[in-house]
Structure 1
Amino acid sequence: MGNSGLAIAPLVLGGNVFGWTADRAAGFAVLDAFVAGGGTMIDTADVYSAWVPGHVGGESETLIGEWLRHSGRRDDVLIATKVGMLAGDGGDGLAPARIAAAVDASLRRLGTDRIDLYFAHRDDPAVPLAEPLDAFDRLVRAGKVRAIGASNFTGPRLDEAANVAAANGLTAFSVVQPHYNLLERTDFETTLLPVVRERGLGVMPYYGLAAGFLTGKYRRTVDLTGVRGAGAGQYLNARGLAVLGALDLVAARHAANPARIALAWLMAKPCITAPIASATSAAQVTDLVAAMHITLTADDIAALDAAGG
């Protein structure tokens, strides 16, 4: 993962569903299946799932913490979580006091003594970059955090953060978490990718399946049902259907399905460390981890690039 010192399997399990669309039993089954399938990193955030009526945030971390205690697998997995989108003790955003309070709250919910990868969930222009970087650096020096990353940062701000860290002798972001998939390419490929290459950063893209659209489940308006349907609907257009058509053709060549191929496309990109994908059942996990064993040809990748370009 860039220069973080961490090494992971090429697929990360997204924890946004835990405590929301995956209850304790389903969440435990998903986590068990992921580790059994060779997965090594779980990604969550303190804000998951504060958007649900009656939730306050921390539900995902709490479920993961319960699983860690129940399974005894803490040393077999790496945990990534985030700060910056949930207000609480110390304020909100990336204020240093908020970071200090939030990390301790996350550690308590997770039931662990360290967070392997701690992300700034989004940029906070109201706070000079040196301040959160100093706060993160203190956490690394204290052993609470092993490496830090930036999610939802623009290329220029990510570059600025690297310069600030170097100038002040602070721990730098070593991983970036962008919105990137076959249908969301422009921002990453034009503004972030040059910085990623120059700085040697690891990349963990989220929404690798475009809110579920790239599973191929949503091909008609009548398919747009359930929690995921609304998000997938934004891609139900000529371009989205063209991408699904390309996925279908490549999937047929590999005796796979569109979801596996969409993730394999991300894994095949030289700059990508591992895409993030979530699941609400063990069967879905088994399907997703199979993507780690698919090797796309140059023609496969060219066809997918052209369809989503």
Structure 2
Amino acid sequence: MTSMEYRYLGKSGLMVSCLSLGGWVTYGGQVSPEVAQMCMKAAYDNGINFFDTAEVYSGGQCEIDMGVAIRKFGWKRSDLVISTKLFWGGKGPNDRGLSRKHIVEGTDASLKRLQLDYVDLLYAHRPDPDTPMEEIVRAFNFVIEQGKAFYWGTSEWSGQQICEAHAVAQRLNLIAPLMEQPQYNMFHRDRVEKEYLPLYKNFGMGATTWSPLASGLLSGKYNDGIPPDSRLAIEDNAVMKRLRESLESEDGRVKIQKVAQLGHLAQQLGCTTAQLSLAWCLKNPNLSSVITGASRPSQIEENVKALQVVPLLTEEVMEAIEGVLMNRPVLDYNFRSS
């Protein structure tokens, strides 16, 4: 069995498995609670200690399924790092956004579904331009002071918005956001590799990234069309619908050609295209954890093998990958993270 690597979450003393398991699309929706439980057990058995969900995933059912799994297997709470995210909590006027009311009530509702006393990480799932930053920062601090979360962070916030939250926290002597949860993969790089660079250095921000396989595109499984049991085949998910349509565009066809080329590189290294894509993400020293999805336990076993591929990604191999991707972000200032 591959030995899991643990990394500090940003500048904190909290250690998270460098690969983690998220429930977006899959748990509470695409697969049964029993399959979700077996996936979580496979992740735990392989050393994954970080499990990510959100109040909006399958209308809260994802949190319920994950909570049932945690209780079923009797895992020691201190061995787990559980995160959830707040923004879309329901249809009522105060069930969405980042008002103090929704952050406090949304946290309580998530904990009830998870059957937990606290989560380790609590994210603002999106920025909320309608709520003052001071209200947002104070509300997350209130939840932390109540012992219902240990750290708070953001997801898909701009560098400027994160800086504003830090400025407010510093002025009020409050806890600032510790981590960001952005999308990051071979086709989606600029924010993590360029926009956030000053944040890693100045604030010690950790990154827990999602969609490392670009919703499966970088696994190579869409090279010859869309398999009926895949995420992209899900009819009633607007995100998946957009992704399906993008695959049929000229840009989508170019990406599929690039995935095929990456497949040849992976073959030379003796790994799968998915393992190469995950290992490429793990090479980024600013990432604390790469959040993966899985609809069956065997996918987790395969994903964890990406750890064996990381040492194979020499400078020469990384340059060969860049030669295929042709999308390296251009830094407009002489800045390198330390």
Question: Same-fold call, TM > 0.5?
Answer: yes
Does residue 293 of structure 2 align to residue 293 of structure 1? Answer: no
1:139 equivalent to 2:104? Answer no
CA distance in 2, matches of 1:151, 1:59: 20
1:19 is the counterpart of 2:28: yes
Q: Whole-Å Cα distance in 1 between the matches of residues 23 and 323 of structure 2?
A: 31
- 2:259 matches 1:257: no
Partner of 1:196: 200
Match of 1:118 among 93, 118, 122: 122
Q: Retained in 1: the 8 A contact 2:84–2:122?
A: yes
Residue 31 of structure 1 deviates from its aligned partner by 0.4
| Alpha-carbon distance in structure 2 between the residues aligned to 1:209 and 1:197 | 27
Aligned pair in 2 of structure 1 residues 306, 158: CA closer, same or farther (>3 Å)? farther
1:5-84 matches, cutoff 5 A: 5-16=13-24, 17-49=26-58, 57-73=59-75, 74-84=77-87
Contact 1:2 1:174 in 2 (8 A): yes
What residue identity is the alignment partner of 1:245? Answer: A
Post-superposition CA distance 1:283-303 (Å, at most 9, x none): 111111111232222222222
**Residues of 2 paired with 1:198 and 1:39: CA distance?**
29
For residues 93-118 of structure 1, give each alpha carbon's deviation from its aligned partner in whole angstroms, at most 9, with x where no partner exists.
Answer: 00001010011111111111110000
Q: Distance in 1 between matches of 2:14 and 2:232?
A: 32
Displacement of 1:90 after TM fit?
4.5
Q: Which string of whole-angstrom CA distances, capped at 9 and with x for unpartnered residues, describes residues 206-258 of structure 1? A: 111101100100113x3364432452562563541343134213322332101
What code does the residue aligned with 1:184 have?
H
Aligned to 1:168: 172
**3-state SS, counterpart of residue 153 of structure 1:** coil
CA RMSD after TM alignment: 1.8
CA distance in structure 2 between the aligned counterparts of 1:194 and 1:162, rounded to whole angstroms: 13
Alignment of 1:217-256 (within 5 A): 217-220=221-224, 222-223=225-226, 225=228, 226-229=230-233, 230=241, 231=243, 234-235=246-247, 237-256=252-271
Shift of 1:305: 2.8
Give the gaps of 5 or more residues in structure 2: 1-8, 234-240, 328-338
Which amino acid letter does the alignment assign opposite residue 112 of structure 1? L
2:162 is matched with which residue: 158, 163, 167? 158
CA contact (8 A) 1:90 1:101 kept: no
Q: Which runs of 5+ in 1 are unaligned?
A: 50-56
Q: Aligned to 1:294, what secondary structure does the other structure show? A: helix
Other structure's SS at 1:300 match: helix
- 1:3 correspondence with 2:11: yes
Distance in 1 between residues matched to 2:222 and 2:121, nearest whole Å: 33
Partner AA of 1:307 in structure 2: V
1:108–1:22 distance in 2 versus 1, CA, 3 Å = same
SS in 2 for 1:274: strand
Question: Aligned partners of 1:305, 1:109: CA distance in 2, in Å?
Answer: 43
Please report how far the alpha carbon of residue 91 of structure 1 lies from its aligned counterpart in structure 2 after TM superposition: 3.8
Q: What's the TM-score once normalised by structure 1's chain length?
A: 0.92
Q: What is the distance in 2 between the residues matched to 1:297 and 1:245?
A: 21
After superposition, the Cα gap between the structure-2 partners of 1:33 and 1:292, relative to the gap in structure 1 and judged at 3 Å, is: same
The question of whether the paired residues in 1 share the 8 Å contact of 2:220 and 2:260 is answered with no
Partner of 1:53: none
Once the two structures are superposed, residues 17-57 of structure 1 have per-residue CA deviations (whole angstroms, 9 ceiling, x without a partner) of 111112111101100100111111001000001xxxxxxx1
Asked whether the equivalents of residues 2 and 175 of structure 1 are also in contact (C-alpha less than 8 Å), the reply is yes
Identical amino acids, percent of aligned pairs: 31
Does structure 1 residue 302 correspond to structure 2 residue 319? yes
For 2:206 and 2:199, locate their aligned partners in 1 and report how far apart those are by CA, in whole Å. 11
What secondary structure is seen at the aligned counterpart in 1 of 2:152? strand
**What one-letter code is carried by the residue in structure 2 that aligns with 1:285?**
I
How far off its partner does 1:271 sit?
Answer: 1.2
Aligned partner of 1:52 in structure 2 is none
Residue 76 of structure 1 and its aligned partner are, at CA, apart by 2.3
Q: State whether residues 85 and 122 of structure 1, in contact with CA within 8 Å, keep that contact through their aligned partners in structure 2.
A: no
1: CA distance, partners of 2:198 / 2:205: 10
Amino acid at match of 1:104: D
- Partners of 2:165 and 2:176 within 8 A in 1: yes
Aligned counterpart, 1:96:
100
**SS of residue in 1 equivalent to 2:196:** helix
What is the match of residue 276 of structure 1?
Answer: 291
